């Protein structure tokens, strides 16, 4: 199994259109990554989440969450929003900062600790939907 590469993951994520209520392709990408690392996950609507392998309900849980959806690009873009480009060490593309960068970083952290025994806490990774519109089918759905 190859080590997780957040730059490669973010580059792929940027190239996927993932507007609010249309996150399924980005969710499917997250599913493919979790599957590659043999991580059990749950899909709820356009959300995907997973618990660390040795989850223990007697421990506190840390939620690693970011969102899959992006706003639609505006006319002010000077670069193709779906064509990831690295210039002078910066990765450009729609969702690279809000919130793809955070999403792949949290995913990488979760993958790193997924099989760790003896953690003093649990980890839950959630890639949630509809954050950009404060929709009811994202975090509000996952954690009513």
The set of catalytic residues is: 69, 131
Q: Identify the burial level of 67 via C-beta atoms within 10 angstroms of its C-beta, where 0-12 means exposed, 13-18 middle and 19 or more buried.
A: buried
> From CA 80, how far away is CA 46, in angstroms rounded?
25
> In the beta sheet, which residues pair with residue 70?
19
Report residue 18 as tokens. Answer: 């993932």
Cβ atoms within 10 Å of 32's Cβ, excluding its own: 10
- Who contacts 94 (Cβ-Cβ below 8 Å, separation ≥6)? 14, 70, 73, 77, 81, 82
> From CA 142, how far away is CA 126, in angstroms rounded?
9
């Amino acid at each position: 199994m190859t080590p997780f590469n957040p730059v490669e993951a973010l580059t792929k994520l940027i190239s996927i259109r993932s507007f609010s209520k249309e996150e399924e392709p980005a969710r499917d990408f997250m599913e493919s990554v979790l599957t590659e690392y043999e991580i059990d996950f749950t899909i709820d609507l356009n959300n995907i989440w997973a618990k660390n392998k040795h989850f223990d309900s007697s421990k506190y849980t840390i939620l690693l969450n970011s969102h899959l959806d992006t706003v639609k690009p505006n006319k002010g873009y000077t670069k193709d929003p779906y064509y990831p480009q690295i210039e002078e060490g910066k990765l450009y593309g729609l969702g690279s900062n809000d919130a793809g960068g955070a999403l792949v970083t949290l995913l990488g952290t979760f993958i790193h600790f997924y099989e760790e025994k003896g953690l003093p806490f649990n980890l839950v990774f959630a890639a949630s939907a509809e954050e950009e519109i404060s929709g009811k089918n994202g975090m509000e759905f996952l954690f009513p």
